[in-house]
Amino acid sequence: MGIDLDGSPIPKAKLDLYNQVMGLEAQRQRSGVSNTMRSRIVRIGAKHISQAELNQMLLDADFIPLKDKEIAFYYGPK
């Protein structure tokens, strides 16, 4: 049985589904730590940093710049 951060129990069905999906994820071939780092930087950075600034930060760190699909998803109209 799991316990949520607020102390309430997490139902078994939810835990089972979570464990099933995480098991599948653990078996997936990885694209490399660098790609994972960049993806997390973009996903989280887009919430806090302007498009132009994040793009420049990626370039300065020798990552590829923002892709068109990332710009559309994170910075496009809501």
pLDDT at 6 over 90: yes
pLDDT at 20 over 80: yes
- pTM over the 0.75 mark: no
Residue 14 lies in a domain: no
Residue 42 lies in a domain: yes
| Domains contained in the chain, number | 1
- Report the percent of the chain where pLDDT is more than 90: 79
Residue 38 lies in a domain: yes
pLDDT tens-digit map of 44-66 = 999 999 999 999 999 999 999 99
Neighbours of 8 (CB within 10 A): 9
Residue 66 lies in a domain: yes
Q: How far apart are CA 17 and CA 77, in angstroms?
A: 33
Residue 37 lies in a domain: yes
Residue 5 lies in a domain: no
pLDDT at 73 over 80: yes
Residue 43 lies in a domain: yes
Q: How far apart are CA 78 and CA 72, in angstroms?
A: 10
Name, in order, each residue with C-beta under 8 angstroms of 12's C-beta and a sequence gap of 6 or more: 1
Phi first, then psi: what are they for 17, rounded to 5°? -65, -45
